[in-house]
Structure 1
Amino acid sequence: MTIKQQLLQNCNQHVAQRITDYTNEIELIKESIDSNDKGGSEGDDSGNGKLLNDLEKNMVFLNDARKTQEYLKLVKANLLTTTAALGSLVKTDSLQFFMSISVGKIEIDDQIYYAISLQSPIGQLLQQKSTGDTFEFNGTKYTITDVV
């Protein structure tokens, strides 16, 4: 498995875990609402208001995670390009960026990579850059040494 395939797999696992976590949280909230409805009196729904709010938030988060999972299907680990694009591994003189989704730091075989989205500030700086190009982010200057 190539490093890009491993990075993509890591991103997919990250999103799958988020989906599982949100789904489990939604089920817990629904169970709490059901038990409140059965145990409380007609006029007492003070706890359900917060639970319904939490349910709605988690459903939004779950929906976002599912959209991210669909977006990841667009990332091609076998992409060969000379300019940074979705699916590229951009190596600089100090850091390595996998252009996919915002996961952050990923460690594989004692190497550190940063999974970033194209919409992130650094992702926008990297788009269409190629080997030898430089860019500055947070006061640090980077030189691209390779785009895989």
Structure 2
Amino acid sequence: MPSPVTLRTISSKAALYVPNFKSIITRSGITSSLRAYSSKLYTKEHEWIDVKHSVGTVGITDYAQSSLGDVVFVDLPKVGDVVEQFGHCGCLESVKAASDLYAPVSGKVIEANTKLTSEPGLINKSPEEEGWLCKIELSNSSELKSLLDKKAYDSFCKESKGSH
């Protein structure tokens, strides 16, 4: 069975075959449409989760990493740990402060990004891609309904900035 076609798949394939694809879509305004499509969900504690086949990849948002400053230490959950939605699952330390990590869903940790142990700065460089924290096998997918989509999360961040 062929894999489903997504905007991400189309844009990455087109980039292979069309010279200057990235600059073409940037000038045409298509980039904002591609960026608007997101399967990620967010928490009010600034974690994100991207779920594929009942496994969620978890990380912190760009908003969170910029608020934290340079991340210098990461304490990730261990493979096999069982986490509860919004329960403590790790810690990040930056030059500014320490910040607890909370699981956006309940489930079992099946992978941790051990690259962050030696390169915690990946969280600052690529918080929503290479700087992911862990992967959780969801135990209750209905919990996803309590998370924010991209538009709601962006509004929440905007409101939070305005209230300070």
Classify the TM-score, shorter chain.
Answer: under 0.3
- Larger helix fraction of residues: 1
TM-score after normalising by structure 1: 0.24
| Rg larger for | 1
Q: Greater share of strand residues, 1 or 2?
A: 2
